Every structure is written in structure tokens, then in C-alpha cells.
Amino acid sequence: MGNNLFLTKSLTDLMQEAKDNKSGLKKTLTKLNLTTLGIGAIIGAGIFVLTGQAAAQYAGPAIVISFIISGIACAFAGLCYAEFASMIPISGSAYTYSYATLGEFLAWIIGWDLILEYLFAASTVSVGWSGYVVSFLHDFGIHIPTVFTAATGSVLVELPKVGWQQLTSNLSASLVEQGVNVAALPHVTAIINLPAMFIIAALTSLLIIGIRESANFNNIMVIVKVSVIILFIAIGIAFVHAGNWHPFIPKNTGVWGHFGWSGILRGAGVIFFAYIGFDAVSTAAQEAKNPQRDMPIGILGSLSISTVLYILVAIVLTGIVSYTTLNVSDPVAVGVNAMGEGMFWLRPIVKIAAIAGLSSVILVMLMGQPRIFYSMSKDGLLPPVFSKVHRKYKTPYVSTILTGLVAIVLAGVLPISILGELVSIGTLLAFAIVCASIIVLRKTRPDLERPFRTPFVPLIPILGALICFIQMAALPLDTWLRLFIWMAIGFVIYFTYGIRHSKQRILNKSAKQGL
């Protein structure tokens, strides 16, 4: 039984499946579509929020170095994904790669784990989308009732000049220190986050209609957000004060991770999660026109473009204002304010870019998850209904609807902190397994054709996996506990359904019986 758990799927069969294109999925995506899908997934809350917060809390202007370190770390995983995506152009991403190299049981683990990345990420980002939309509408005098803009049960307080804010232990302590009587402030308890639920429902509907339409929508969103980011960089350069970059590496406070070189490393760890999403490109492999050539371009191209934009925004933002003022939810808006009243017209444009950016992230995450379900169902590890393709639209509509419904519930009732930590640990585990799989496959099948080859193997895969495990170790204990509970649920499903219906297992049994 132990050996059977590590039954691998034939790479020859996988590549033949890709050639025959019996999936029923429509091949419409070009290398430009794949690259914009990657940019759409990566550039979101990271550039509009994390840049300023990581600079203010950990690295100062040297957050630029943090971005470079983190970009290199992500490149290790990206290079490994690119080799697999060019070799095995099948929907399923890391799940499919693991099935071909590490065996069925580990493939199930990674497939179940990827739900944490894609489905939970869609819910997480939709909560951020809700915040930006509520703020944007507020600027135009449109007010959504506060009780319908936060997670179920969240306690919100109204702060003078700031508006409604979620009451956390940190905020409460800060207000007490300022002499504010928290109990005397107006309080409400949130019922549900309706804007977050709305955007998921809308994008799920779009994904059912078709991959081409979804890709076109994503292209528009990417053009909007990248154009505004470039506009901010171009205008912001004129308002840079070199004095804000001194000292470039603020002196460490005596606590590890608070400025100095340890702060740069801590900042790199935080920024790492701003790059999550490039791997979603690989889930669309069966809908790419020329996956062997275009998948590596889409993965590495989107990662490279996003890294350059992150670095430029960090340079300009920390040059416009002191890094000490950037520990806010909208640091780019703080930078715009510092340019003077003549530049206030840029503030709503920045919010529009943030909304567009977050919309494209949600879209790509909601696109990736159903294709993981699709591949697992085709292998027999999930019921056949998950691989049903719409007769007219040629999309995996049942799994798309299911993904959307679960994401809507999560977005409406769970706080962003819990969702975000689960996304982080799920993504890092996926990256680590993909890196390890490259080494295994190079040893076991050196003869396979590799249109793209990860350079410096095994060094790069080892570094990629090591960095991911270090990041996982730094996450809170309760996040690990949630991961173990999630995996336990997955094991129950695998051993009660998946192992009994595995098509690879049935094929092997038939072959042994001479049928």
C-alpha cells in the first residue's frame, strides 16, 4: 500500500493528452495573454499597500533591496515552474507536476493545498477590493451601510476624521495610549461584506462565459493599473527629495528585523507575498495556443515586469515622503498628497488603479482554482462533475460555480488576516514541492525533452525550496494548526473517495491482470 501511494502518472500519457487536446477546453491564449494573466495575478495589494508598510516598519528606503532579494527568491520558483509548464502543458499546475514526479498521494496533497492559494486568495483580495471601492464611492458621496462592508461579527468604531475602522487589539491599545475612551466611541457589529461578495459573483459569471472574454477583461484591468503605476512613477520623480533617502539603511533599533540589514531581510519576507500569483499562469496551459514556447514567457515575463514596477514605485515613494509616514493602508495616496494640492486629481485615479488591480487578481485566482479541480477530476481523484465542460462556452463551469460560491461565503464572513495567512502557507508549500520535483525528475527522467530548462540544477531548486520553508517556519503557530486541520480533511476525502476512483490506479491494476 505504501508504494502504491506514490504511483506516478505517465509523462508520455500526459504529453500525448496535451497533443491530442481531448479536454474540450478552448485553446485561445497567446503569450501576451499569459503574460498579462501573470501581471494581473501579481500586481495588486502588494504594490498599493505592502510597499509603504514594509518600508515604514522594517527597511526604510532600503525596501528597494528587499524587493530585489524577494524577486530573486521568487525567480527560483518561477524558473522551476517554467520548466514544468513547457514540458507538461496540462491544466493543474503544481498538482500535475507532482503527479508525474512524486506520486499520487503527494499530488493529492499539493492539489488540496492549492485550494488555499487560489480559492482563499480570491476571497482575501476581494476583502481588500471592498475597502477601496467603499472609500472611492465615499469620495463621491455614495455611502454603503458600514454593517455591510466587513466580515461577520467584526466590531467597527467610528474615529473622528478617519471614519469607520475595524477594532483590533492593536488599534484599541493605540487609541488608549492617545487618551481616547474607546468605549465612548460609536460601535457597530458587521453583518456581512457585501461588496466583496458582489465582485466574486460578477467575475465568476464572466469566467463561465469564456476564457477569451475573461482574458480580455484582465488585459483591460492590467493596462489600467500598469498605466497608472507608470504615471505615478513619471510624475513622482519630479517631487523626489533626495534627503528622504538618507539614511538609506536606517540604523537597527536593537531588535532583529527593525531596520538595518535584519530589517531588509524581514522586509523581503513580507514582500515575498506580494509576488504570489505568477504560478497561476500554469493553470491555463491547456488553453494556450503554443504552451511549450509561451508558458515560460508568460511566467518569467510577468514576474520580471512586476519586479521592475515594484522597485521603481519603492524608489519614488520613499523619495517623495519620509518612510516613517507610510505605515498606512494607502501609502501611494500619501505620496500623492505630499505632491501638493495641484496633484489631488491623481488621488481618485490611484484608487481606480487599485480597484482595477485587485479585480484582475481576483479574476486570475478564480480562473486557476476550477482548473485544478478539473485536472483532479479527470484523474478520478474528485467526482466527474468537477470536469464537466460547458457545451457552448467550453469552460469548466460546474467547478467554476462551486469555486465562486465558496469564495463568496469566505469573503463575506471571514476577516482578511486569517484568509491571508492561509494563502501564504499554502502558496509556499506549493512552491517548495515544485522546486523539489525538478530535482527528482532530472534524476529519474533525464531523457525527457525540455523546451525550457531551469539553469544551475540542483542549486536553484534547492535555494527555492529552502527559502520557501524558511518563510513557512516564520508564520504563526495557529496558521500551521489550520493547515494541519485542512490537510486532515483532505486525507479523509482522498482515502474514502480518491484512492478508490483513481484512473491511474485502475489502469495499473488492469495492466497487471493482462486486460
Q: Maximum Cα–Cα distance for the chain, whole Å?
A: 81
The Cα–Cα gap between 441 and 504 comes to 19
pLDDT computed for residue 173 by the predictor: 62
Per run of 10 residues, the mean pLDDT along the chain (length 515 residues) is 70 70 71 89 77 86 91 89 83 79 89 85 84 82 86 74 62 67 78 92 91 84 90 94 93 87 84 77 80 89 92 94 80 84 86 87 88 90 92 88 94 76 81 90 87 94 90 79 92 94 86 68
The Cα–Cα gap between 231 and 113 comes to 38
The Cα–Cα gap between 259 and 197 comes to 38
**Ordered domains of the chain (ranges, CATH):** 31-145+192-502 (1.20.1740.10), 155-189 (no CATH)
Its pTM surpasses 0.95: no
Number of neighbours of residue 146 by Cβ within 10 angstroms: 17
Contacts 24+ apart (CB under 8 A), 333-342: 334/52, 335/232, 335/236, 336/232, 338/239, 339/235, 339/236, 339/239
pLDDT computed for residue 2 by the predictor: 45
Rg (CA), the chain: 23
The Cα–Cα gap between 8 and 88 comes to 14
* Cell numbers linked to 264: 531588509
Residue 224: what residue type?
A: V
Measured in whole angstroms, the distance separating CA 308 from the mean position of its chain's CA atoms is: 18
Q: Are 432 and 468 in contact (CB under 8 A)?
A: yes
Give the bridge partners for 193, in sequence order: 149
- Output the CA–CA distances (angstroms, integers) from residue 460 to 75, 276, 441, 449, 464, in the order listed: 9, 18, 14, 20, 6
* Cell numbers linked to 92: 493543474
The Cα–Cα gap between 264 and 276 comes to 19
Report pLDDT digits (tens) over 28-42. 888 898 998 889 888
3-state SS assignment for residue 189? strand
The Cα–Cα gap between 245 and 127 comes to 33
